[in-house]
Structure 1
């Protein structure tokens, strides 16, 4: 997973997770549709936690394991779905039509186990003909390339698909596959760029507390009062109950902190990064993907060289911001005198 930590959205099929199992990725919201009462299967979407999103569909219909999330973009909502169809199941066109009816601006990703030679596969299987019928309906289109997404025992095939409505499909480029992760099924990870901007959650201000003047007695008293309101004997058996319990504890600590520990005079400020730094960030991401794709020493060296340049540029931006901030403070003080 670390190989794709730069991605804002991850779609994972055949997670093999069960409802009672916990799973998290730092920096991401996790949405899951776990297979019930049988081994294997399951789909997951991981969305960067600063992107506004919510789950809109979570069902398994005739073994089509489906999960969909709505993401807020500057052009309206975009539905992103992850679908896994096992080899012995039929591709259910009604599932795809239902997703399209929820939002006709949609992007559907998944291991459909469908091979369609007219769209880049080496042959056409039964599910490929079902996919062909779905595409013939006209509301969805697919990325038409010959990238093989599955390899085993010297056999390669394209069975993983990127489907989308228009104009979403036109925003997709740089579709690439990577060496398999060494798993039993030997699916090759598939990445692409979606050239549209998501609506980001507003960043909360980072507050600086003056712990030297904290009232520790008041803090303990307030925290104890709040913790006594939480049922410590409750039976916690699933992820939702754990999340609720953690939220109650966190809110108790935050409330006690605000009550007993005063703020310092200044909030911690985030400095603005320069255009040079932004370009280096993009270059670093491209270099990282190229290195992981080729696994060559030259690309590895290129990545670390850009990373060092980026660190230096960030340092210069920070110095420039602090100098400007101090200069503005000095001007303000002079005006007051």
Structure 2
């Protein structure tokens, strides 16, 4: 069986919009294939682009319309993948993809539990359901 490595980066930028150039530089220098972000703080109407990456976002806004929290997964265009349909969780925020590494299916999630919210083990059980190997990169 052919060995394959998948290069992942997890980062909690505390707001990504002003840090895209830094992310682009690190992704290129480190040959990153999948980027997982916590606390993106993006408004759904904000356009974000990183060349050569598909971007999947789960944005959140306050009742007043201010962007906060949010997660994202960026997948380099040469990586075969699909976005996962995600349920609503009790306290966790998450977004994920399904891909393949070393000949095995793999689910990868960017997960975020907002400060002050209790840990909810049922959220983790929901993510881990099934027979597919799963990686959760939490904040």
The TM-score normalised by the length of structure 1 is: 0.31
Is 1:45 aligned to 2:70, yes or no? no
**Contact 2:38 / 2:69 at 8 angstroms: preserved in 1?**
yes
Per the alignment, residue 29 of structure 1 pairs with 54
Per the alignment, residue 34 of structure 2 pairs with 9
Structure 1: segments with no counterpart, 5+ residues: 112-337
1:1-337 equivalences in 2 (<5 Å): 1=23, 2-5=25-28, 6-37=31-62, 39-111=67-139
Compare the two structures and name the one with the higher helix fraction.
Answer: 1
Structure 2: segments with no counterpart, 5+ residues: 1-22
**Contact 2:61 / 2:68 at 8 angstroms: preserved in 1?**
no
How far apart, CA to CA, are the structure 2 residues paired with 1:59 and 1:48?
A: 25
How far apart, CA to CA, are the structure 1 residues paired with 2:40 and 2:137?
A: 15
How far apart, CA to CA, are the structure 2 residues paired with 1:94 and 1:63?
A: 10
Aligned pair in 2 of structure 1 residues 102, 31: CA closer, same or farther (>3 Å)? farther
**Contact 1:63 / 1:86 at 8 angstroms: preserved in 2?**
yes
Post-superposition Cα deviations, 1:274-327, rounded to whole Å, max 9, x if no partner, equal xxxxxxxxxxxxxxxxxxxxxxxxxxxxxxxxxxxxxxxxxxxxxxxxxxxxxx
Aligned length: 111
1:80 Cα deviation after fit: 0.2
Aligned pair in 2 of structure 1 residues 103, 81: CA closer, same or farther (>3 Å)? farther
**Contact 2:105 / 2:132 at 8 angstroms: preserved in 1?**
no
The TM-score normalised by the length of structure 2 is: 0.71
Aligned pair in 2 of structure 1 residues 60, 33: CA closer, same or farther (>3 Å)? farther
1:107 Cα deviation after fit: 0.6
1:48 Cα deviation after fit: 0.9
How far apart, CA to CA, are the structure 2 residues paired with 1:10 and 1:90?
A: 26
Compare the two structures and name the one with the higher strand fraction.
Answer: 2
Cα RMSD of the aligned pairs, angstroms, is 1.8
Aligned pair in 2 of structure 1 residues 39, 21: CA closer, same or farther (>3 Å)? closer
